């Protein structure tokens, strides 16, 4: 396989030109949403926004798992780190603010917080020590599957999981139902769809009458996915199209789904800044209570709440940004009080957060347009 | 001062990015820079200081080295502590090193065998750089009072041509002396327990001989070594001090397959991680090809490449041309962390 | 995919060798296969014919632009590589 063909700038410009023609035919601006931080990351990294037609508004939805991890979930990790257990988590989580502290703050005040790259590494960490190791597990279904696999693979007795995993399909419903929504199509994340299969979006298209295109993460995967979405809008034929057939099938990865649902059950819960999302959170089933950090430890959350919440937290509009209603320029704190060195909202923390990505651009998403 | 800083020091203030510069500027530079001094002093925040002596410049620099793990593929803290200081001198043109100092602070219980290995590696690096250690100091602290070993080295050197990091002009080309990201990603892969089998070793090396081979041409306009914070941080600093914009051509930046792969895996941009044996050189456009040819003739410069151009637009910014489009290059803020998906 | 050993496999990732776990991959893999990796787990065996399928999808997007020289150029490139 030659990955380079998915990164050929000439092909990219060609696809962009096709998209331009389709939009000319439509004759009005079109807004579409992607729901994956990795898509925004690739768009940012390759400077793809400067290739997008002016009439196409690509909005970033609630696709950053780190950003939507709710404040009380971070608090649970922070409290546990202060209770003498070792918290193992992904690098992006470290600076996400809780009510008063982030995990990085907990680490600075003596808590044990270790960065891992994979759930498996957290298990290895547990095997290498006598201390309690808690995997603070964040991420969408793709990552939850990896957590499920280590839970089912006989982890050592000092290993447990604090699950903040989230499930994407329900939040797409929430966004599609928002009255302010002007989204005419969704670009679905290829990695997540590799697990769930693209069939999962068929009922969604039926209900909301908007097309969904599954796309991969190489620059040309994204451009081709967007072009297909625009084409479906042009033809007024909402349906699911899989533009990532090398990784996604209709039924998805059945063994992975089996393990995912054996370990986790979907439950309603808040996504930071967005809403209560029915079935949006993945929690461990009772059968795995012995590995569930929430059941194994008494997490003394109120001990944190003796402190006043940070001064600016109330002014943060991360939620509206993640819902695609507003953008970072609408935020009073953006690039003033809220910067990556001192983030107020989670969108400024994660490499996949809209505010962080916009900050990296110097506050503008498209250099050509602003120059 | 209390209003300007958080009550406690955090790790991001050591990451080579803006947080670190703010700490240094607010805490140290402002007051020290007011003390009378004739030369390039602390206020310049260059790689070192320079004092005029007759028709030459005496360049002084100091650097403390902490690294975890102490031994890493391609080097160790000893080699790093010699090369880091030799390179800081070289970046200002002082490729003849008159002498180095070496202070070692050890944690009780540190292995003597490791210490011997570190010392041997320092001696080898000194020979390579033709730079003698001329004085030193040793302290031992109690267990847990520091993490293993800290080495501080200080260097002095002489040069007739002083090179700064603030003197780029629009039209200048930017050359990098070799492939980037190797030190940072080799150490990071090891530190985060990423199990990989790859030909990835730190590039830690003394650059003074390589730079000395370029100096007689007199065509270098500015120079900096992209250590902590990587090429991005160094270019931002050069652009901001020189009040120019820099357009960086991403496809032209030399990156090995291993660095590219590990960067992709960890979600870390090789432009953001440390190099310990590379230099960024600004040169007049008309002299760029000649300088590149000189670099290619030296073993440490054989992968050198022309990667950017200075422009008048967007002073202080680095504009990345990805081949697909243009965007601003970010400046790292603290130690890069592997991302999730 | 270089080597399979029970639940672990060695893969070549752009020239870097790395261990991945096979607990959750969708179908049996063997040396020579391509896989999609996520946090150290193989999550999908990539059927070799699927790459050509992707390139064919790209091409359908370009099909209305027969007189565009660059498109023709790109199309012949796709034909050459897939």
Nearest by CB: C65 against A18, A139, A228: A18
Say if residues A148 and A260 touch (Cβ distance below 8 Å). yes
Nearest by CB: A361 against B10, B327, B340: B327
Q: For residue B5, what pLDDT band results from cuts at 50, 70 and 90?
A: low
pLDDT in tens, B221-262: 999 999 999 999 999 999 999 999 999 999 999 999 889 888
Say if residues A287 and A230 touch (Cβ distance below 8 Å). no
Cross-chain residue pair B320–A47, CB shorter than 8 Å: yes
Whole-angstrom distance, CA of residue B188 vs CA of residue A309? 34
Q: Is A313 helix (H, G, I), strand (E, B) or coil?
A: helix
Q: Is A28 exposed, middle or buried (0-12, 13-18, 19+ CB in 10 A)?
A: exposed
Whole-angstrom distance, CA of residue B48 vs CA of residue B66? 19
Nearest by CB: B196 against C16, C38, C39: C16
Say if residues A136 and A87 touch (Cβ distance below 8 Å). yes
pLDDT in tens, B103-116: 999 999 999 999 99
Cross-chain residue pair A139–B11, CB shorter than 8 Å: no
Eight-state DSSP code of residue B332: P
Instruction: Determine the angle formed by the axes of helices B257-266 and B182-191, rounding to 10 degrees.
Output: 50
Residues 6+ apart with CB under 8 A from B95: B89, B157, B159, B208, B209, B211, B212, B215
Residues of chain A above pLDDT 90, percent = 55
Whole-angstrom distance, CA of residue A205 vs CA of residue A169? 12
Q: At CA B227, angle to CA B224 and CA B231, rounded to 5?
A: 70
pLDDT of A262: 97
pLDDT of C73: 53
Assess B73–C contact: CB distance below 8 Å, yes or no: no
Beta strand pairing call for C16-21 and B196-197? antiparallel
Give the helix, strand, coil percentages of chain C, each rounded to 5.
Answer: 35, 30, 35
- Residues of A in Cβ contact (< 8 Å) with B334: 341
Q: What is the DSSP string of B81-141?
A: HHHHHHHHHHHTT--EEEEEEEEEEEETT--HHHHHHHHHHHHHHHHHHT--EEEEEEEEE
- Residues of B in Cβ contact (< 8 Å) with C14: 257, 260-261, 264
- Residues of B in Cβ contact (< 8 Å) with A90: 338-340
Q: Does pLDDT of B341 surpass 80?
A: no
Convert B251-295 into a string of H (helix), E (strand) and C (coil).
Answer: HHCCCCHHHHHHHHHHCCCHHHCCCCCCCEEEECHHHHHHHHHHH
**Residues within 8 A of B (CB atoms), A 47-76 only:** 47-51, 65-66
Whole-angstrom distance, CA of residue A84 vs CA of residue A319? 33
Eight-state DSSP code of residue B190: H
Cross-chain residue pair A90–B340, CB shorter than 8 Å: yes
Candidates B185, B197, B257, partner chain C, best to mutate (most C CBs within 10 A): B197
Cross-chain residue pair C44–A194, CB shorter than 8 Å: yes
| Residue A283: strand pairing partners | A265
Nearest by CB: A143 against C38, C64, C82: C38
Convert A85-142 into a string of H (helix), E (strand) and C (coil).
Answer: CEEEECHHHCCCCCCCCCHHHHHHCCCEEEECCCHHHHHHHHHCCCCCEEEEEEECHH
Whole-angstrom distance, CA of residue A242 vs CA of residue A214? 5
C-alpha torsion angle, residues C40, C44, C46, C50 (rounded to 10) = -140
Q: Which of A161, A138, A143, A142 is nearest to A151 (CA)?
A: A161
pLDDT in tens, A262-285: 999 999 998 987 888 999 999 999
Q: Which residues of B185-207 are buried (b: 16+ CB within 10 A; e: fewer)?
A: bbbbbbebebbbebebebbbbbb
Q: Which of B46, B14, B13 is nearest to B29 (CA)?
A: B46
Determine the distance from the C-alpha atom of residue B137 to the mean position of all C-alpha atoms in its chain, rounded to a whole number.
25
Assess C39–B contact: CB distance below 8 Å, yes or no: yes
Cross-chain residue pair A194–C43, CB shorter than 8 Å: yes
Q: Is B303 exposed, middle or buried (0-12, 13-18, 19+ CB in 10 A)?
A: middle
Assess C17–B contact: CB distance below 8 Å, yes or no: yes
Whole-angstrom distance, CA of residue B44 vs CA of residue B30? 11
B302 against A37, higher pLDDT: B302
Q: Is B307 helix (H, G, I), strand (E, B) or coil?
A: strand
Whole-angstrom distance, CA of residue A194 vs CA of residue A189? 9
Assess B264–C contact: CB distance below 8 Å, yes or no: yes
Average pLDDT over residues B54-80: 95
Cross-chain residue pair B17–A341, CB shorter than 8 Å: yes
Residues of chain B above pLDDT 70, percent = 93
Cross-chain residue pair A118–C62, CB shorter than 8 Å: no
Q: What are the structure tokens assigned to A130, written together?
A: 């006598």
Neighbouring subunits of C (3+ Cβ pairs under 8 A): A, B
Q: What are the structure tokens assigned to B310, written together?
A: 């200075």
Q: What are the structure tokens assigned to A202, written together?
A: 């068929």
pLDDT of B1: 37
Cross-chain residue pair C70–A10, CB shorter than 8 Å: yes
| Residue A318: strand pairing partners | none
Nearest by CB: C16 against B258, B340, B341: B258
Nearest by CB: C36 against A11, A14, A194: A194
Q: For residue A371, what pLDDT band results from cuts at 50, 70 and 90?
A: very low
Say if residues B211 and B241 touch (Cβ distance below 8 Å). no
Assess A14–B contact: CB distance below 8 Å, yes or no: no
pLDDT of A310: 59
Whole-angstrom distance, CA of residue B270 vs CA of residue B266? 10
Q: Which of B203, B214, B182, B180 is nearest to B295 (CA)?
A: B214
Eight-state DSSP code of residue A338: B
Highest mean pLDDT among A104-113, A206-215, C68-77: A206-215
- Largest Cα separation within chain B, whole Å, is 58
pLDDT in tens, A130-163: 999 999 999 999 999 999 999 999 999 999 999 9
Whole-angstrom distance, CA of residue A142 vs CA of residue B3? 44
- A324 Ramachandran zone, left/alpha/beta (phi>0; psi -120 to 50): left
pLDDT in tens, A38-58: 888 788 888 888 889 999 999
Q: Which of B83, B63, B69 is nearest to B276 (CA)?
A: B83
Cross-chain residue pair C26–A153, CB shorter than 8 Å: no
Q: Is B338 helix (H, G, I), strand (E, B) or coil?
A: coil
Candidates A2, A138, A233, A253, partner chain C, best to mutate (most C CBs within 10 A): A253
Closest chain A residue to the Cα of B326, Cα to Cα? A47
Closest chain A residue to the Cα of C68, Cα to Cα? A14
Average pLDDT over residues B144-169: 95
Cross-chain residue pair C14–B196, CB shorter than 8 Å: no
The pair phi, psi for residue B152, each rounded to 5°, is -110, 135
Assess C38–B contact: CB distance below 8 Å, yes or no: yes
The pair phi, psi for residue B300, each rounded to 5°, is -80, -5
Q: What is the DSSP string of B312-323?
A: SSSTT-EEEE-S
Q: For residue B337, what pLDDT band results from cuts at 50, 70 and 90?
A: low
What number is the ipTM of this complex?
A: 0.74
Neighbouring subunits of A (3+ Cβ pairs under 8 A): B, C
| Residue C46: strand pairing partners | C34
Say if residues B95 and B163 touch (Cβ distance below 8 Å). no
Cross-chain residue pair A124–B193, CB shorter than 8 Å: yes
Assess A92–B contact: CB distance below 8 Å, yes or no: yes
pLDDT in tens, A215-250: 998 899 999 999 999 999 999 999 999 999 888 999
Say if residues A16 and A223 touch (Cβ distance below 8 Å). yes
Q: What is the DSSP string of A270-308?
A: EETTTEEEEEEEEEE-GGGGGGBHHHHS---GGGGGGSP
Closest chain C residue to the Cα of A8, Cα to Cα? C74
Whole-angstrom distance, CA of residue A180 vs CA of residue C81? 45
Whole-angstrom distance, CA of residue A261 vs CA of residue A148? 9
Whole-angstrom distance, CA of residue A138 vs CA of residue A282? 10
Residue in the block written with tokens 């590696």: B121
Q: Does pLDDT of A335 surpass 90?
A: no
Q: Using the Cα atoms of residue B169, residue B155, residue B148 and residue B73 in order, give the sign of their dihedral.
A: positive
Whole-angstrom distance, CA of residue A113 vs CA of residue A77? 9
């Amino acid at each position: 396989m030659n990955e380079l063909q998915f990164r050929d700038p000439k092909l990219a410009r060609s696809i962009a030109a096709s998209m331009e023609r389709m939009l000319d035919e439509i004759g009005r601006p079109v807004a579409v949403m992607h729901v994956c931080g990795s898509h925004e990351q690739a768009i940012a990294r390759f400077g793809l926004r400067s290739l997008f037609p002016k009439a196409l508004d690509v909005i970033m939805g609630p696709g950053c798992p780190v950003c939507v991890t709710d404040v009380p979930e971070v608090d649970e990790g922070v409290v546990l780190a202060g209770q003498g257990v070792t918290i193992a988590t992904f690098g992006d989580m470290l600076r996400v603010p809780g009510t008063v502290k982030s995990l990085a703050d907990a680490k600075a005040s003596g808590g044990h917080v270790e960065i891992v790259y994979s759930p498996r590494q957290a298990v290895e960490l547990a095997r290498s020590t006598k201390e309690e190791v808690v995997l603070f597990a964040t991420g969408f279904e793709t990552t939850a599957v990896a957590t499920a696999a280590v839970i089912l693979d006989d982890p050592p007795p000092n290993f447990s999981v604090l699950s903040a995993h989230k499930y994407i399909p329900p939040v797409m419903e929430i966004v599609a139902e928002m009255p302010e929504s002007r989204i005419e199509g969704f670009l679905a994340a290829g990695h997540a769809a590799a697990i769930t299969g693209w069939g999962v979006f068929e009922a969604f298209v039926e209900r909301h009458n908007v097309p969904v295109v599954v796309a991969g993460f190489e620059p040309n995967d994204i451009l081709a996915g967007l072009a297909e979405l625009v084409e479906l809008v042009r033809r007024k034929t909402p349906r699911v199209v899989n533009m990532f057939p090398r990784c996604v099938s209709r039924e998805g990865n059945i063994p992975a789904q089996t393990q995912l649902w054996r370990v986790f059950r979907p439950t309603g819960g808040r996504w930071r800044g967005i809403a209560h999302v029915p079935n949006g959170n993945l929690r461990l089933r009772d059968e795995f209570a012995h590995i569930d950090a929430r059941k194994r430890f008494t997490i003394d959350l109120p001990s944190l709440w003796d402190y006043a919440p940070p001064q600016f937290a109330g002014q943060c509009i991360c939620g509206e940004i993640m819902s695609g209603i507003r953008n970072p320029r609408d935020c009073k704190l953006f690039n003033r009080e809220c910067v990556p060195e001192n983030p107020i909202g989670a969108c400024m923390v994660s490499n996949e957060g809209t505010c962080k990505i916009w900050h990296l651009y110097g506050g503008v998403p498209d250099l050509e347009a602003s120059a | 001062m209390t209003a300007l800083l958080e009550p406690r020091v955090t790790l991001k203030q050591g990451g080579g990015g803006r947080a670190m510069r703010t700490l240094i500027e607010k805490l140290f530079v402002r007051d020290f820079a007011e003390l009378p001094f004739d030369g390039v002093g602390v206020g310049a925040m260059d790689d070192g200081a320079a004092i005029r002596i007759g028709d030459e410049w005496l360049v002084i620099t100091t650097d403390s080295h902490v690294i975890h793990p102490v031994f890493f593929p391609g080097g160790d803290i000893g080699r790093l502590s010699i090369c880091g200081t030799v390179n800081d001198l070289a970046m200002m043109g002082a490729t003849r090193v008159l002498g180095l100092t070496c202070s070692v602070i050890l944690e009780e219980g540190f292995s003597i065998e490791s210490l011997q290995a570190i010392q041997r590696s320092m001696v080898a690096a000194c020979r390579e750089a033709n730079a003698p250690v001329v004085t030193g100091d040793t302290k031992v602290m109690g267990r847990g009072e520091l993490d293993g070993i800290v080495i501080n080295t200080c260097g002095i050197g002489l040069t007739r041509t002083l090179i700064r990091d603030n003197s780029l002009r629009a039209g200048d080309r930017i050359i990098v002396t070799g492939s980037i990201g190797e030190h940072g990603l080799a150490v990071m892969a090891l530190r985060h327990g990423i199990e990989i089998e790859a030909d990835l070793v730190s590039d830690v090396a003394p650059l003074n001989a390589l730079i000395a081979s370029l100096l007689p041409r007199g065509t270098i306009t500015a120079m900096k070594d992209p250590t902590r914070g990587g090429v991005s941080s160094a270019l931002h600093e050069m652009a901001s001090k020189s009040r120019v914009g820099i357009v960086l051509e991403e496809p032209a930046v030399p990156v090995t397959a291993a660095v590219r792969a590990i960067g992709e895996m960890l979600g870390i941009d090789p432009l953001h991680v440390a190099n310990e044996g590379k230099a960024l050189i600004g040169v007049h456009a008309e002299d760029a090809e000649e300088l590149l040819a000189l670099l290619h003739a030296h073993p440490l410069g054989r992968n050198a490449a022309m990667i950017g151009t200075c422009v008048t637009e967007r002073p202080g910014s680095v504009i990345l041309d990805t081949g697909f489009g243009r965007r601003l290059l970010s400046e790292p803020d603290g130690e890069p962390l592997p991302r999730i998906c | 995919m270089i080597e399979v050993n029970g639940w672990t496999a060695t893969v070549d990732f752009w020239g870097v060798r790395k261990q991945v776990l096979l607990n959750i991959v969708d179908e049996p893999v063997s040396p020579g296969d391509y896989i999609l990796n996520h946090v150290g787990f193989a999550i999908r065996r990539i059927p070799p014919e699927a790459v050509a399928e992707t390139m064919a999808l790209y091409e359908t997007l370009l099909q209305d632009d027969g007189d565009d020289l660059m498109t023709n150029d790109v199309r012949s490139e796709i034909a050459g590589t897939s």
